[in-house]
Amino acid sequence: MKWSPRGSSPDVIDQRGGGGGGRSRGRGAAIGGGGLGLGGILIVVLLQVLGGGGGGSGSGFDIGQVLQGAGGGPVAGEPIPAGEDPEKDLKDFSAYVFGDAQDRWTAIFSEQGRDYGRAKLVLYRSGVSTGCGDASSAVGPFYCPADQRVYLDLSFYQDMIDQLKAPGDFAWAYVIAHEIGHHVQQELGTAAEVDAARRKDPSDANALSVRQELQADCYAGVWARGVYQAGQLEPGDVDEAFTAAESVGDDRLQRQAGGRVQPDSFTHGTSEQRRRWFTTGQTTGDPSRCDTFAADDI
Ligand SMILES: [Zn+2]
């Protein structure tokens, strides 16, 4: 993808050197993008409690190893010296995609006579306090509706390459655009409708979650259409996004047991469904085509 750094990014809150420091403002369920949501947190906590699933050092599960990813980034809690940020390019690119996606949605909302309230992107390392409770990077990227922030540990980029086999800048961009898709659902009131329906009929909760996730994929595709129209797509970009969308499908994650990313039971749809809905958004560029809730066959 063609891009250039935007300079300062008012949408981005960099907490990587600050050791958390987020505020808790009530509770709401986080929506996982790398796959995972609260189920993932619970699994990690259970693994810690049970002392299982680790690297066999004899001392039980080493959560530190899991959270650190492939390393190379700054250490949580230690300030990053100016000019010495090993993740600078990835941070700049993430900020670019986040800002670009929000600009695109601002324009789409405006065409419909609506205002778009911008979300924030919080970069953190290892663990973070959010309006949806405390989270560790083991859950992958996620959006918290309660504080309207996307939470991202940049080390997930390496996990996508090593564990999910989904390399490439546009694969990463897809993940960010998917999280913005959840914010769009929040802005449109879709998320509240889903929550109400879920409370009314808890047995339907999983099916609703799948449709909510697939809609966020479709919205990511709508953003990708804008990138294409701006002449910024490069050969292979869309394939990278396909690979990423497929690799974070629940069926694939179920086969990745043992990695840092843990499956949440089929709340994100299959790989084929994720690819299909991303394509719908990407080929039409029309968010009204992303009504996964009305579709008989997803
Ligand atoms: Zn999601």
Distance 213 CA to ligand 1 centre (A): 5
Distance 53 CA to ligand 1 centre (A): 25
Q: What angle do CA 250, 157, 217 make, to 5 degrees?
A: 45
CB atoms within 10 A of CB 196: 9
Distance 268 CA to ligand 1 centre (A): 7
> How does pLDDT run along the chain (298 residues), one tens digit per residue?
999 988 888 999 999 986 444 444 444 566 665 444 444 444 444 433 343 333 333 333 333 333 333 345 566 667 777 788 889 999 999 999 999 999 999 999 999 999 999 999 999 999 989 898 888 887 788 889 899 999 999 998 998 888 888 899 999 999 999 999 999 999 999 989 998 998 999 888 888 888 998 999 999 999 999 999 999 999 999 999 988 887 776 554 444 433 333 333 446 778 889 899 999 999 999 999 999 999 888 8
Distance 179 CA to ligand 1 centre (A): 6
Distance 195 CA to ligand 1 centre (A): 15
Distance 142 CA to ligand 1 centre (A): 7
Can you tell me whether residue 115 is helix, strand or coil? Answer: coil
Alpha helices in the chain (DSSP H): 37-50, 63-68, 88-111, 156-162, 169-188, 190-200, 205-229, 237-247, 250-254, 271-284
From CA 18, how far away is CA 125, in angstroms rounded? 9
Distance 106 CA to ligand 1 centre (A): 20
Distance 212 CA to ligand 1 centre (A): 8
Distance 140 CA to ligand 1 centre (A): 10
| Residue 108 CA: distances (Å) to CA of 37, 149, 223, 274 | 28, 20, 10, 23
Distance of CA 85 to the CA centre of its chain: 22
Strands 120-124 and 12-14: parallel
From CA 193, how far away is CA 198, in angstroms rounded? 8
